[in-house]
């Protein structure tokens, strides 16, 4: 498959720089910090839209995203990521609840592994998955980032959100 439409661009956000990658049709990767990803380094309408929606999210003005997503992963990982998209803004689920939701109740460790490999953090809200004991475990970008995103959603979730 040709990947000539791949682009990436780094945007400034209130949470620091975030690099977005696109395949020309959908967002394929989100990385905290400034990084060189696949394709040509240039902003596109799609990455600009994604960056705008991220800014609105960080400002507490957006609780859902409308950018098309195309994460690359195994069928199991994609099943987990689809389940993560059902977790409402400002709420959390445990790894066990996600495992049960996808019909693999004993696979909570594998759910954790898929969560950790999520290529589209924030857009696919892996930060909303917590340990059964309520602990902020297993966030690829660190528990401080995870706690910050959950705090943002809890603070803004108490107000009426526009979509």
Q: Are strands 7-13 and 40-41 parallel, antiparallel or unpaired?
A: parallel
Residue 126 designated active-site: yes
Which pTM value belongs to this model? Answer: 0.88
pLDDT, one tens digit per residue, over 32-60 is 999 999 999 999 999 999 999 999 999 99
Residue 163 has pLDDT above 50, yes or no: no
The pLDDT-based confidence of 159 (bands split at 50, 70, 90) is: very low
Determine the pLDDT at residue 160.
Answer: 42
Give me the sheet containing 40-41, strands edge to edge: 27-32, 16-22, 7-13, 40-41
Q: Measuring CA to CA, how many Å separate 37 from each of 3, 7, 93?
A: 12, 8, 31
Active-site position among 31, 126, 130, 152:
126
Tokens of 106: 């004993």
pLDDT in tens, 19-32: 999 999 999 999 99
Is the pLDDT at 139 greater than 90? The verdict is no
């Amino acid at each position: 498959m040709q990947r000539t439409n791949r682009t990436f661009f780094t945007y400034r956000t209130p949470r620091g720089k975030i690099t977005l990658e696109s395949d020309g049709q959908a967002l394929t990767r989100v990385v905290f910090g400034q990084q060189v990803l696949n394709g040509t380094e240039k902003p596109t309408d799609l990455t600009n839209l994604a960056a705008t929606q991220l800014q609105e999210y960080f400002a507490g003005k957006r609780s859902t995203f409308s950018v098309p997503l195309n994460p690359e992963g195994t069928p199991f990982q994609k099943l987990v990521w689809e389940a993560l998209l059902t977790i409402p803004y400002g709420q959390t689920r445990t790894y066990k609840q996600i495992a049960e939701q996808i019909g693999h109740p004993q696979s909570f460790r594998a759910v954790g592994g898929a969560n950790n490999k999520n290529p589209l953090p924030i857009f696919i809200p892996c930060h909303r998955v917590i340990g059964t004991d309520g602990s902020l475990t297993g966030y690829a970008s660190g528990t401080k980032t995870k706690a910050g995103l959950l705090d943002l959603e809890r603070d803004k979730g108490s107000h009426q959100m526009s979509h």
